[in-house]
Each structure stands twice: as C-alpha cells, then as structure tokens.
Amino acid sequence: MDRPDSATSSVSTSDDYVDLTPEYAREILDALHEEDTTRVAELVGELHFADIADLLGWAGSWERQQLVDVIRPDFDPELLTELDDELREEVIAQLGTAAVAEAISELDSDDVVEVIEDLEEAEQRELLGALSEIERARVQEALSYPEYTAGRIMQRELVAIPDYWSLGQTIDFLRSAKNLPEDFYDIIVVDPRYRPVGMVPLSRAIRTNRPVLVRDVMETEDMRTVLVTEEQENVAHLFRQRDLISAPVVDDNGRLVGVITVDDVVDVIDEEYEEDMMRMAGVGEEDDLSSDILDTTRSRFTWLLVNLGTAIGASMVIGLFQHTIESLVALAVLMPIVASMGGNAGTQTLTVAVRAIATRELSSTNAWRVVRKEVAVCTLNGLAFAVLSGLVSWLWFDNMRLGAVIGVAMVINLIMAGAAGAIIPLALERAGVDPAVSSSVFLTTITDVVGFFAFLGLAAAFLM
C-alpha cells in the first residue's frame, strides 16, 4: 500500500512491521551465518515481537542463541507469551532471570502467569521476587488456582465502579486513575459487596451523556460471570456461544476477582483443539516441534505400546484360523481389506462424534438418534463396499464364494464400525474421560478384531 500523500502524510500508514516470510527468515539466518550482526539487527528490528517468536521457533539452537543476543537490548517481554514452553525456558535461561524479571514487571498479571507457570520452582521464585509486592501477590494468587481454570487465564487489572455513579463520574475516574489495564472493553459494575451486577460496554459508555446513571445503561442480560475455578474449556465454550469480549470472574462468594478477555480465550480454544487432535493421534500435548528427541520418543512410546498390544490381540484372532488360511492363502491376501475399511469408516464416525461432543452439538439428548444415523450410514456404505470388494475378490481369485464371504464380512464390520465410532466417545464422555483420548485405539481394536473374525470365521464355515 502506498503512503497517503494528503494532509495526513506525516502520519505513517497502517503497518510498520515487515511480515515474516520463510524468505525473510532465510535472509536473517544467512546474515547470521555470515556474522553480519548489523544486518541481522536491522532485519529483526523490522519484525513484530510475535513474528520474532515464530522466527525463534524456526531457528536451530545455535541460531536461536545468536538471535536472543540480537534482541536482548530492546527485549519486549510480550514475546515470551508467544513462545512454546520449552523455547520460553531456553530464552529465559539465556537472557538471565534478572533481565527477565525486570522486563515482565511491565506485563499484565495474566501474561506474567503464562510466562512463569511452567518454569522450575527456583526460577519462578527468582522472577516473582523481582516483581512489585502487589503484582507478586496477584501472580501468586493466580498460581494458587488449579491449572486450566479461569483463575489462571484471568487478569486482575480491571475497571469496576458502583452503579450509582453517573457516566460523567465514571469517565473522570478513568481519566485520572492509575493502574488500569492497558486495554479493556467493558466497565464492570459492582454492588457494595464487590459483586458484579452489570457491565457497560465501552462503546455504550462513550456514547452516553455525562449525567446518565450507570445503572440505567448497564447491560445485565448479556453479562455472564465466570466462577474462578471453572474449567477453561467451559469458559471458551461460553465466550464462543455468546460472542463475549470479556467476562467478570467471581469467587465462591460471588465477589469480583478478575476479568477474562477474548484474546485469552482464543489461546484456550487453540489449546483445546490441539489437545483433541493430538490425543486422537496418540501424541502427548507437550509433544511439539521444540521438544527434544528423547522426550518425544518417550512420550510417543506409550501409545505405540498400547497399539502393539491391540495389534497382537488382532493377530491372535488370525491365529485361531491358521488352518483355514493354510488351505486357502487368498484369505491372508484379502483379510487386511476388511479390517482397513472398518477402521476408516469407524474413524469417520468417531471424528464427527468427538468433534460434535466438543462443540456440544452432541449430548445425551440426541445420542441415540446420532448412533442410529451413523449405523445407517455405515450400513449403506457397507453394502456398497460389499459389492465392490466382493466383485474384486471374485475376479481376482476366480472364486465366487470367496467374494460372497468378503462381502458379508464387510457389511458386518462396517456396521460395527459405525456403532463403535459413535458409542465409544459417548461412553467415554459419560464416564468423565475426554472422548478424544483413547477413542481411536478402542475403535481400531474393535474393527480389526471384528474384521478378521468375521472374514476368517465365515470362510472357515462356508469355504472349507
């Protein structure tokens, strides 16, 4: 975009930062390797802190060390909130706790919590020691709430006023007050016991004439308070469902203790999705690109071990039919088809169900309707693929009865796949377990066992 050439030309246009493209990153890293520090500092200086965080993630460890030294003089502590846990620890260690402590004292309390909650205790103490007394108390209080609850993601900096003030009083208060949050979107109205009774969105506050009383313009219907111990997942659902921008957080006595804003919730949504996706694939949540090889290997080992167990189980089913296979080896050739189709059809159902439970489109109210539908869908596809796989097998091995057997086994396995794909996550949810976490291993165990058993069992009965 070109710069405005009008009366306002002294004002810089919208975006003063350069976008971090892979090419731009390459340029920086190349300059690093050529030890052209001036150029590196110049190029990095053009980036927004969030892009610098991405760059640190893309860099190798030697490069990252060099880059941290480059950004050290103008270090923006908000960068720390954008890093993965492991990278954050590395960067903090390199910068030194003293420097970091000074830097994070500029942050809002929720950001400080995010930065320090996963650090080792000694480091945490050192950083906390460098904060002002008020801020330290705020952060320590936040850390006293369980992880993944509203208390961890809320900020303590907020604007609360009594409902008998006029808008004029409110605005004068805002103009003179110190220690307000940097950005806020709603003014929280509290009663004398400091319990929220309404909110005034800033867009309404600014449009209202000074003499009007707060109690006459405040929003009460669309305000939702959040309990400080509420799980962050439920908070995210609430924000999403009600299109909230901010919500007051209260303690057990209904007293205002903080505020959650939508930007924190966006992070939670990201985390929750990532968790679902990773759990379905059997990957730990802490498994990201910056974890080291041994940690990653160890965290994935467990899931693979479970899978080895279920695979051996499926093999034992095959083992029951060794003689059948010996007399018709085509069965060994074809049997993975039935199991694989069942696994895939079941995964389709499972994914739709896990997702629908997460968005609350699927609840116990419509559970049976959904199970019936999924079974119907899988039955129809089962019939279609019975015909297709039956024909292929008939032609391939010139054996019509073999074709019939694989067809019937296919229908049986796909019906089971549809039922299991819908019922497993519903049952896990009811048992209070995250439906994403172990659904797929249960599912493929069922589709493998049923697939092999149906196909080989039918073959033993009708082809021998």
Q: Considering only residues 160-219, where is the footprint of a second copy by CB under 8 A?
A: 162-164, 171, 174-175, 180-185, 191-193, 195-198, 201-203, 205-209, 215, 218
Report d(CA 147, CA 370) in Å as an integer: 34
2 part of the interface to a second copy, by CB under 8 A: yes
Q: Using DSSP, state whether 184 is helix, strand or coil.
A: coil
Question: Are the C-beta atoms of residues 72 and 103 closer than 8 Å to each other?
Answer: no
464 part of the interface to a second copy, by CB under 8 A: no
282: alpha, beta or left, given left = phi > 0 and alpha = psi -120 to 50? left
DSSP string, 380-436: HHHHHHHHHHHHHHHHHHT-HHHHHHHHHHHHHHHHHHHHHHHHHHHHHHHTTS-HH
Indicate the residue among 103 and 159 with the shorter CB distance to a second copy: 159
Report d(CA 420, CA 235) in Å as an integer: 30
Indicate the residue among 128 and 419 with the shorter CB distance to a second copy: 419
Name the β-bridge partners of 261.
246
Indicate the residue among 77 and 248 with the shorter CB distance to a second copy: 248
Query: Which residue in the block uniquely carries the two structure tokens 């759990």?
Result: 279
239 part of the interface to a second copy, by CB under 8 A: yes
Indicate the residue among 37 and 302 with the shorter CB distance to a second copy: 302
Residue type (1 letter), 80: L
Report d(CA 153, CA 144) in Å as an integer: 12
Q: How many other C-beta atoms lie within 10 A of the C-beta of residue 25?
A: 18
Q: Which of 385, 442, 453, 455 binds a second copy (CB under 8 A)?
A: 385
3-state DSSP: the chain helix, strand, coil percent, rounded to 5? 65, 5, 30
Report d(CA 359, CA 181) in Å as an integer: 32
398 part of the interface to a second copy, by CB under 8 A: no
389 part of the interface to a second copy, by CB under 8 A: yes
140 part of the interface to a second copy, by CB under 8 A: no
**Closest residue by Cα to residue 152 from 212, 183, 121, 109:** 109
Pick out residues in 87-106 that bind a second copy (CB under 8 A): none
Indicate the residue among 336 and 457 with the shorter CB distance to a second copy: 336
Indicate the residue among 128 and 153 with the shorter CB distance to a second copy: 153
Shortest distance (Å) from residue 136 CB to a second copy: 24
115 part of the interface to a second copy, by CB under 8 A: no
**Closest residue by Cα to residue 68 from 57, 51, 56, 81:** 56
Indicate the residue among 105 and 299 with the shorter CB distance to a second copy: 299
Shortest distance (Å) from residue 125 CB to a second copy: 28
Report d(CA 123, CA 138) in Å as an integer: 18
Indicate the residue among 130 and 278 with the shorter CB distance to a second copy: 278
Beta strand residue intervals within 43-145, DSSP E: none
Pick out residues in 323-362 that bind a second copy (CB under 8 A): 325-326, 329-337, 339-341, 344-345, 347-348, 350-352, 355-356, 359-362
Q: How many other C-beta atoms lie within 10 A of the C-beta of residue 16?
A: 8
**DSSP H or E run through 162:** strand 160-162
315 part of the interface to a second copy, by CB under 8 A: yes
Which tokens hold the place of 279? 């759990």
Which tokens hold the place of 387? 């015909």
369 part of the interface to a second copy, by CB under 8 A: yes
Q: Judged by CB under 8 A, how many residues of this single chain contact a second copy? A: 153
8 part of the interface to a second copy, by CB under 8 A: yes
319 part of the interface to a second copy, by CB under 8 A: yes
Q: Which of 79, 249, 314, 371 binds a second copy (CB under 8 A)?
A: 314
Indicate the residue among 52 and 131 with the shorter CB distance to a second copy: 52
Shortest distance (Å) from residue 96 CB to a second copy: 26
399 part of the interface to a second copy, by CB under 8 A: no
16 part of the interface to a second copy, by CB under 8 A: yes
Taking CB under 8 A as the binding criterion, the range among 88-96, 136-144, 146-154, 287-295 that sits at the site for a second copy is 287-295
144 part of the interface to a second copy, by CB under 8 A: no
Report d(CA 347, CA 130) in Å as an integer: 51
Pick out residues in 44-83 that bind a second copy (CB under 8 A): 48, 50-51, 54, 57-60, 82
Shortest distance (Å) from residue 259 CB to a second copy: 12
Name the β-bridge partners of 64.
none
431 part of the interface to a second copy, by CB under 8 A: no
Query: Which residue in the block uniquely carries the two structure tokens 């103490």?
Result: 125
Report d(CA 123, CA 134) in Å as an integer: 19
Indicate the residue among 122 and 192 with the shorter CB distance to a second copy: 192
Q: Which residues of 436-454 are buried (b: 16+ CB within 10 A; e: fewer)?
A: bbbbbbbbbbbbbbbbbbb
Shortest distance (Å) from residue 139 CB to a second copy: 20
37 part of the interface to a second copy, by CB under 8 A: no
Pattern 240-279, binding to a second copy, x per CB under 8 A?
Answer: xxxx-x--x-x---x-------xx-xxx-xx--xx-xxx-
